[in-house]
Amino acid sequence: MAWTAVAVPLALAAWVAPPMVLLPLAVLAGLYFLVLMFFAVRTVAGASNGAAAGTVAVSWILLAACPALLGPLHLLSGWLASPLFLLFVFYYLGNRISGLAPVCAAGRTSGECWKPRR
């Protein structure tokens, strides 16, 4: 919601404002997004002011790396969404997954479902 609160007014300004004014507006919108994310992290995670500010400051590092990571992630998401890949996962992990239900239904906790009984 914070991104929408910043992006919608900026998109509307792009229709009306000249390009020379759009760059300073984009910088102001980015700073406003930082403020909104600070309050969002503080509210949702229940973090202190310092932890929320640190989280927002570190998040921009990943955002700056997104253009470099977009190509490999796009290629990887294509492989992971492939029906053939899903078929192989089901084929190789089918016994492990189907054998999990009766064990968990017997009253064991989720952490014990993968462990064999003694």
Q: What are 13-25's pLDDT values in tens digits?
A: 989 988 888 989 9
The percent of residues in the chain predicted with pLDDT above 90, rounded, is 23
Q: How far is CA 43 from CA 30, 31, 39, 57, 79, in A?
A: 20, 19, 6, 17, 36
pTM: 0.55
Q: Which two tokens stand for residue 47?
A: 């973090």
CA dist 63 and 118 (Å) reads: 48
Is residue 79 predicted with pLDDT exceeding 80? Answer: no
